[in-house]
Amino acid sequence: MTRVDGTPDVALELEDIQAGALYERPSPYVGTYLLLRIVDRTDGRELVRRLHRIANPAGGADSAGATSLTVAFTYRGLEALGVPQESLDTFAPEFRQGMAARAEILGDTGESAPDRWEEPLGTDAVHVAIAVLSSDEEQLAAVAEKARAAQTELPGIELIWKQDCYQLATGRTSFGFKDGIGQPAVEGSGRPATDARERPLRAGEIILGYPDETGELPPMPSPDVLGRNGTYIVFRKLHTRVAAYRSYLRARAATRAEEDLLGAKMVGRWQSGAPLAVSPDADDPELGGDPRRNNDFGFGDDPRGFKCPVGAHARRANPRDALDDEGSVDVRLHRMIRRGTSYGPMLPDGVTEDDGVDRGIVFVFAGAHLRRQFEFVKTQWLNDGIFIGAPLESDPLVGPHHEPGSFTIPQRPIRRKLQDLPPFVTTRGGEYCFAPSLSALRWLAELDT
C-alpha cells in the first residue's frame, strides 16, 4: 500500500501496541477503572511484570473481542518505578506537569478546580491506571480478578480508586446521546475510515515512534524501548448535570420535539447519533445506528451552520472541512481517539429534578500529542469561540460557562439565541497518563535502578 502522496504505508507493530489505544472496546460493555499507588518500588515492578502478562496487544487474537485491559502510568508512577530522571525529562512537558497543574489552562476552575476534585484524583498518589472493559459481567469479573490478583500479596501496592463504568446496548450516555461515533482512522491499524472524506491519520498522530501529520516523528520519550509504540492517555471523570440540562431545555421548548431539536443543535447529532449535517430536521435512528453512514459527512456545504450550528459540540470538537479555507488551521493536527465510558445510573426518562446521584462520563483520550490534540481541542475549540468568530460563546454542552453562556442556533428567518447557559458538566478529576508498549512494560518491570 502507498499513500496518496506516494510515501509507503507504515506497518504498525500491532503485537507491541496496547489494544486499548487503537481499537474499539466491545459494545455494549461493562468495565472498571482502577488507580493504584506504588508505595514500594520492588512491588511496583512485580505489579508491572504481572500486568504485562495480561495486557492485550492490538495484534492479539481477541483484539476486537470480548475483554480488554489497558495499563497506563502517570509521571509520578514512572518515577515511583525508578525510571531514570534523564528519561523522565524526555516526556511531554504537559505529562510531566500532570493534569491538575494544567487546570487554569484547561478551564478546570471554580467547581471544576482540582481542590474540589474527588480524592485522590489530581494528587501525587495516582501512579498506575488500569482500564478493564468487557462485553459481559462475567468476563469482566474474571479479568478484573486477574488485575486484582496482580496486585494482591503486593503490600507495596495500594488500590486507591475504583470507578465502574458501562455502556448500554443503545450506546446512549447520560444526556441521552449516543457517544463514541466520531473517530479518526489510523494508518496501519487495519480499521477502515468511517468518514470517507477523512484520510486515515498518519500513525504518529496516535502512536509514538511513527511519522505524524507533520511528516516528522512526534517527540518521543527515551530510551526508544520505553517510548516507541506507546501513547499518551488522558482520563477525566466528568459529572453531568442531567436534570439541569433537561430543565434548561424544557423551559425553552414548547414540545418534547422542540426539546430534542435544541439538544441536537447543542450536540450536532440527534440522540440516536444521526448527524444534523445529514438529517437536519428530524432524528433518523436508522442513520444514527448505521456505522457506514453515521460518520460520513462534512460541514463544507453549511458554512453558516443552518443544519449544524458552528458552535455545536461535535462540530467544535471536529470541524471536519469547515475550516479548510482559513489558512491557519490544519484539522488533522487536532484529532484524537476517544474511549469514553458512562458511569452512574441513568436519570429516569422525563425526570427534571436532581436526584443527587453522580453520573457522567469517564472521558478517555488517546493520542501522541497532549498539547496540540487534547489541550488544543479543549482550550481553543470547546472552551473558546474565537475560531468561529464568537469569542464569548463556549461549547453549549461541555463548556465551562463560569459566567452564564449563550449559544447561537442559526435558522431562518431569525437566529435563535439560547441565553444563561449554566455549566452542565463539572470535572471531578483526571490525569495525564502514558500507556507504554508491551516491550516497554517488560523494560519497566526489569528496571534495576
**Cell numbers representing residue 424 in the block:** 452542565
Cis peptide before 280 (omega within 30 of 0): no
Closest approach, Cβ 240 to ligand HEM, in A, equals 5
In the window 256-285, what residues touch other proteins (CB under 8 A)? none
Q: Which of 217, 243, 244, 346 binds other proteins (CB under 8 A)?
A: 217
Count interface residues toward ligand HEM (CB under 6 A).
Answer: 26
**Cell numbers representing residue 381 in the block:** 475549540
Q: Tell me: does residue 384 bind other proteins (CB under 8 A).
A: yes
Stretch that binds other proteins, among 113-121, 207-215, 259-267, 285-293 (CB under 8 A): 207-215
Computed on alpha carbons and rounded to an integer, the radius of gyration of the chain in Å comes to 21
* Residues 289/273, Cβ–Cβ less than 8 Å: yes
CB count, 10 Å around CB of 77? 26
In the window 413-442, what residues touch ligand HEM (CB under 6 A)? 425
Closest approach, Cβ 184 to ligand HEM, in A, equals 8
Q: Tell me: does residue 333 bind other proteins (CB under 8 A).
A: yes
Question: How far are the Cα atoms of 133, 276, 295, 316, 336 from residue 291, in angstroms, in the given order?
Answer: 21, 15, 7, 21, 18
Closest approach, Cβ 365 to ligand HEM, in A, equals 7
Amino acid at 356: G
Pick between residue 49 and residue 172 the one whose CB is nearest to ligand HEM: 172
Question: How far are the Cα atoms of 86, 124, 285, 406 from residue 90, in angstroms, in the given order?
Answer: 7, 19, 47, 42
**DSSP 8-state secondary structure symbol assigned to residue 171:** -
Q: Could you give phi then psi for residue 388, rounded to 5 degrees?
A: -105, 15
Beta-carbon contacts of 338 under 8 Å, excluding residues fewer than 6 positions away, are: 180, 182, 183, 363, 364, 365, 366
**Cell numbers representing residue 440 in the block:** 516497554
Q: Tell me: does residue 325 bind other proteins (CB under 8 A).
A: yes
Q: Which does 317 bind (CB under 5 to 8 A by kind): other proteins, ligand HEM, none?
A: ligand HEM
Beta-carbon contacts of 152 under 8 Å, excluding residues fewer than 6 positions away, are: none
Compose the 76-95 pattern: x for residues touching other proteins by CB under 8 A, - for all others: ----------------xx--
Closest approach, Cβ 397 to ligand HEM, in A, equals 6
In the window 282-321, what residues touch ligand HEM (CB under 6 A)? 313-314, 317-318
Q: Which of 363, 407, 432, 434 binds ligand HEM (CB under 6 A)?
A: 363
Q: Which of 112, 173, 279, 426 binds ligand HEM (CB under 6 A)?
A: 173
Give strand pairing partners of 68.
133
**Cell numbers representing residue 47 in the block:** 505489579
Q: Tell me: does residue 213 bind other proteins (CB under 8 A).
A: yes
Q: Which of 28, 345, 391, 422 binds other proteins (CB under 8 A)?
A: 391
Residue nearest to ligand HEM (CB): 182
Cα 162 to Cα 36: distance, rounded to the nearest angstrom:
9
3-state percent breakdown (helix, strand, coil) of the chain, nearest 5:
30, 20, 50
Closest approach, Cβ 315 to ligand HEM, in A, equals 7
Q: Tell me: does residue 361 bind ligand HEM (CB under 6 A).
A: yes
Q: Crossing angle for the helix pair 438-445 and 41-54, nearest 10 degrees?
A: 150
What is the per-residue burial (b if ≥16 Cβ within 10 Å, else e) of 248-263? bbeeeeeeeeebbbbb
Pick between residue 10 and residue 55 the one whose CB is nearest to other proteins: 10
Stretch that binds ligand HEM, among 19-27, 49-57, 170-178, 279-287 (CB under 6 A): 170-178
Q: Tell me: does residue 364 bind ligand HEM (CB under 6 A).
A: no
Q: Which does 189 bind (CB under 5 to 8 A by kind): ligand HEM, other proteins, none?
A: none
State the DSSP H helix or E strand holding residue 428, giving kind and residue range, or none if neither: strand 425-435
Q: Which of 374, 407, 432, 434 binds ligand HEM (CB under 6 A)?
A: 374
Alpha carbon of residue 407 to chain centroid: 24
Closest approach, Cβ 167 to other proteins, in A, equals 33
Q: Which does 328 bind (CB under 5 to 8 A by kind): other proteins, ligand HEM, none?
A: other proteins
**Cell numbers representing residue 227 in the block:** 517510548
Q: Which residues form the interface with other proteins (CB under 8 A)?
A: 92-93, 213-220, 325-330, 333, 372, 376, 379-380, 384, 386-391
Q: Which residues form the interface with ligand HEM (CB under 6 A)?
A: 173, 175, 177, 179-182, 238, 240, 267, 269, 313-314, 317-318, 336, 338, 360-361, 363, 374, 377-378, 382, 398, 425
